[in-house]
Amino acid sequence: MHALLRDVSARAILPHYQTLSAGQIEAKAADDVVTVADTEAEDMLAEGLARIIPGLPIVGEEAAHADPAVLDRLSSACWIVDPLDGTNNFAAGKPPFGIIIAMADGGEAHTGWIYDPLSDRLCIAHKGKGAFINGEKIQACSTGQEPPVAAISLVFMDPAQRAAMKDHIAPHYGLVDIPRCAAEQYPRLVLGVNDCSIFERTLAWDHAAGVLFVNEAGGKAARPDGRPYRVDEAHLPGLIGAASERLWDDLAGRLAAL
């Protein structure tokens, strides 16, 4: 898998980094864009994954955007692919951005890969077997700061939710900017950079691998009511990630009191 990720990065992503023309960037939705690198990378990944496990269905972000029926595959065994996470950053010519791949079955991710093309950092998680960065097993650690460091994504919240977060949650945390890239946010929760994070939009290609990675590293990522994240429920809003169960419980408790 590492070889495939490196190849796709070298051939489809990095050649377009900081060289995109206006015609190679298209608006996909409000506050969301797609670039030629996204589509080229998804095509290459689909070809490579088909060689690894022939016949296993693929749920790619761009394929699902073109045909929402692709999402029906999430309830069975499948690959889940975000060919270029952090596209807005990439289109602006700045990091972070990355590739996210997960394997799921029965609505649950069991393996995930999160790759940073610029640093060659590869995060891997296997359900029940732990989390690894560049081959070394990793244990989640907090920042140790008080108040805890939180990255709260307000992008997809409505005005009432944003106000509640600012008035009732933010005062209890040291807020930092979100990276607008799940491929960076989840590693930050494990590496002692951030203590917790709140996500409103929970699309499978953004979160399947990251949730698994945090949980396998000994942190906690789950729905605000404690239910496990399922890739076939990715239309539902709300997700909390934290470097420890205690940090998760504290934040979940504050959200429940809103």
- Tell me the CATH number at 105: 3.30.540.10
Instruction: Report the number of distinct structural domains present in the chain.
Output: 2
**159 in a domain, yes or no?**
yes
**CA dist., res. 105 & res. 73, Å (int):** 10
| CATH number reported for the structural domain that contains residue 247 in this entry | 3.40.190.80
Q: What is the pLDDT of residues 100-153, one digit of tens each?
A: 999 999 999 999 999 999 999 999 999 999 999 999 999 999 999 999 999 998
Q: Does residue 216 share a domain with residue 103?
A: no
* Domain C-terminal end among 137, 167, 182: 137
Q: Is 50 among the domain residues?
A: yes
On whether both 122 and 217 belong to a single domain, the answer is no
What does the pLDDT read at residue 155?
84
| Residues 116 and 166 grouped into a single domain | no
Give 160's contacts (C-beta < 8 A, 6+ positions apart).
none
pLDDT score of 258:
86
Please report the pLDDT score of residue 156 as a whole number. 85
Q: What is the largest CA-CA distance in the chain?
A: 51
Residue 48 lies in a domain: yes
The CA distances from residue 127 to 118, 155, 196, in Å, are 27, 30, 21
Which residue ranges of the chain lie beneath pLDDT 50? none
Quick one: 157 and 36 in the same domain?
Answer: no
Pair 121, 175 in one domain: no
**Domain of 242, in residue numbers:** 149-256
* pLDDT score, position 60: 97
Residue 167 sits in the same domain as residue 199: yes
Element (H, E) at 38: helix 36-52
Q: How far apart are CA 242 and CA 251, in angstroms?
A: 9
